[in-house]
A = this chain, B = another copy of it.
Amino acid sequence: MERLAHVRPPRRQRKGLQTPNPEVRQRLLEAGLELINEGGYNALRIEDIASRAGLSVGTFYLYFEGKSDLFVSLVQDYTRRLRDRLMSAGGRTPTSRLARSLDAYLDFVLENEQAFLHFVRTSGAMQTNMGPLSTWALNSHAGDLEPAMREAVETGTVRRMDPALTSQAIIGLTQHLVVFWLEHKDAYTRAAFKEFLLNFIGYGIAGRTGPDGPG
């Protein structure tokens, strides 16, 4: 998890606190996330974050440089929590692990819908010391998936294919299609969407399904 600890905007304009209080920082992050999920990022005001957290605007600026600095920290926090959930999703077979992970991902996204949409739309333009923020986040998830893909290839559970490319394909496809689903929730139920995505990842558009596969 070391990479997570170090992602940050390329340079801070002012010195951080000598002895920051992690609980205060967390209260500001949670207030920011709540407000984004309620009203979107563009409407977010520092005054409202401080007020929701029960702190002063001055205190906010001791911890963050502004909205976009807070947002990078939120994405870092958010990615860590999502990774924890995905890693503990369980499942005995690769197929059931994939299905449980997708459920955990959808739960998380639905809890943080506005923040997720804002993240997907803007994080490519947010530079960090690790490159675009979007690249860092997707690589974190793909890196978590890769050992399982490598093992599945080696044991013949899946076809022979490059584990790194396969992990990137699954993560990138899932993120893109979840955004599309959020924008078209009236057209597809969660169950129908989930079934589509699992079948696409599992069998593509032309692959014949195995004995356990869909009809």
Q: How far is the CA of A144 from the CA of B93 in the complex (A)?
A: 37
Encode A159-172 as 1/0 by CB contact (under 8 A) with B. 10110111011101
Given B124, B200, B209, which contacts A120 in the complex, CB threshold below 8 Å?
A: B124
Q: Are B202 and A161 in contact (CB under 8 A)?
A: no
Residues of B contacting A196 with CB < 8 Å? Answer: 161-162, 165
- Asked whether any CB of chain B lies closer than 8 Å to the CB of A122, the reply is yes
Bin the interface of chain A by size. 35 or more
As for how many copies of this chain the complex holds, the number is 2
Closest-by-CB residue of B relative to A171 is B176
Given contacts A121-B125, A169-B177, A172-B173, contact A203 B200 (CB under 8 A): no
Given B149, B172, B197, B210, which contacts A177 in the complex, CB threshold below 8 Å?
A: B172
Q: How far is the CA of A193 from the CA of B199 in the complex (A)?
A: 22
- Asked whether any CB of chain B lies closer than 8 Å to the CB of A134, the reply is yes
Residues of B contacting A172 with CB < 8 Å? Answer: 172-173, 176-177, 180
Q: Are B205 and A208 in contact (CB under 8 A)?
A: no
Given B125, B162, B176, which contacts A173 in the complex, CB threshold below 8 Å?
A: B176
Chain B nearest Cβ from A136, distance in angstroms: 12
Q: Which residues of A contact B (CB under 8 A)?
A: 94-95, 120-122, 124-125, 132, 134-135, 138, 149, 152, 157-159, 161-162, 164-166, 168-170, 172-173, 175-177, 180, 183, 187-188, 192-193, 196-197, 199-210, 213
